[in-house]
Structure 1
Amino acid sequence: MVSAKALETRRRITDATVQIMLTRGFPQLTLEEVAKQANVSKGGLLYHFASKEELLMGVIEEQEARQFQQYQTYREQGLGQMEAFVMLQAQRDEEICLDIDTVVFLLSFLKENADFVEERKKQVHQFFDQLMEQTDPVDAMMIRFTLDGLKMSEHFQFGEPTPDLRQSLINRLLTQARAMDQASENQK
């Protein structure tokens, strides 16, 4: 079992990694710089992440864990599955705005780590299979692809909606998600 101190150190390291990528770009991401930013020794960093690749996998896993926890929080607050999904995906996430060097590196990194990617794909498929079992699959995919497109337009800063239009879009998706959740509840 991993200690609370070790988990906190890992989180500081992954947070520092994200901060460096966002503020300085991928070329400035070195293990030395991450250790300095996270206030750990390089040996301490290497204890948790033996390489830059493991560090990036750790960042991805940490982001996934945060998203899952937020989704669970929404569900505990009484939101249905689709509404919780829309709320989670609609959050403005400044971390998605990475420079092109970082995007290219991450894509090549993912290509070289097929097992890691396959595990992520499997988790996403399981999540959406569960959503679509309980609601109209076409409506669920329309919501998913709308949110995916919104995130991509914001990430690449190309064709972004105005803030008012974005909020109207999210409101409409939430209305549709609530109706889908209600229909699913009524079928039980």
Structure 2
Amino acid sequence: MTTSKTTKSTSATRNALLEAAARVMVAHGSKALTLEAVAREAGISKGGLLYHFPNKEALIAGMLQQLIDQKTASLKHELEQDDAPDTPGHWLRAYIRSYENHNTHSGAMQSALLAAVAENPELLKPWQEKFADWQRQIEASELDPAIATVIRLAINGLTFAYLFGLGVPQESLHKQVIETLLKLAQQ
């Protein structure tokens, strides 16, 4: 097998294990996340799982990193698609649209975040660092930093409303909220 095929196979197995872990937590809660349950769900031996993730914390860290990678890729895509890249608020508008286009209300995200906090709050450090970086980008967006930060916090609040079922707005209101935030990010 060539290195390229081995890398693709390893990546595919890692992704299958991360998806299996999310399915276990969505179906049974974070307490049910065991290496045995994930291996069984993925149809792989526990030894095969341990090759990729030597312990439960590494598995949860992998889930969280996968979410960061997906959000970052979505954000990059939105930055490239923006029709006004050299205008104030460009980065912030991409952040808003990436929220809409990245399935942030997924059960997998909720499970990974809850499991991370329950297992070891230190596992959230990559998320904390990424959000700090995004905050710096938002403050540098050439908009009033307070307004830009309010917009980010509104998006984060919307995310958590969906994650925890806290006053989730109806679809029409949700769309109006996003449109309002995009307008604010153009001023």
Q: Does structure 1 retain, via aligned residues, the 8 Å contact 2:116–2:124? A: no
Q: CA deviation at 1:127?
A: 2.2
Q: Deviations over 1:77-100 (max 9, x none)?
A: 2263111100122355222455xx
Q: CA deviation at 1:142?
A: 0.9
RMSD of equivalent CA atoms = 2.3
- Corresponding residue number in structure 2 for 1:44: 48
Residue aligned with 2:167, SS = coil
Q: Residues of 1 paired with 2:136 and 2:73: CA distance? A: 19
TM-score, scaled to structure 1: 0.81
Q: Residues of 2 paired with 1:89 and 1:138: CA distance? A: 20
Is residue 16 of structure 1 aligned with residue 20 of structure 2?
Answer: yes
Q: Residues of 1 paired with 2:65 and 2:50: CA distance? A: 17
The alignment covers a number of residue pairs equal to 173
Is residue 66 of structure 1 aligned with residue 78 of structure 2?
Answer: no
- Corresponding residue number in structure 1 for 2:86: none
- Corresponding residue number in structure 2 for 1:166: 174
The unaligned stretches of length 5 or more in structure 2 are 84-89
Q: Does structure 1 retain, via aligned residues, the 8 Å contact 2:61–2:116? A: no
Q: Deviations over 1:112-132 (max 9, x none)?
A: x3xx43443223212211221
The unaligned stretches of length 5 or more in structure 1 are 181-188
Q: Does structure 2 retain, via aligned residues, the 8 Å contact 1:20–1:28? A: yes
Is residue 81 of structure 1 aligned with residue 91 of structure 2?
Answer: yes
Is residue 124 of structure 1 aligned with residue 131 of structure 2?
Answer: yes
Is residue 138 of structure 1 aligned with residue 146 of structure 2?
Answer: yes
Q: Does structure 1 retain, via aligned residues, the 8 Å contact 2:78–2:94? A: yes
Residue type of the alignment partner of 1:132: E
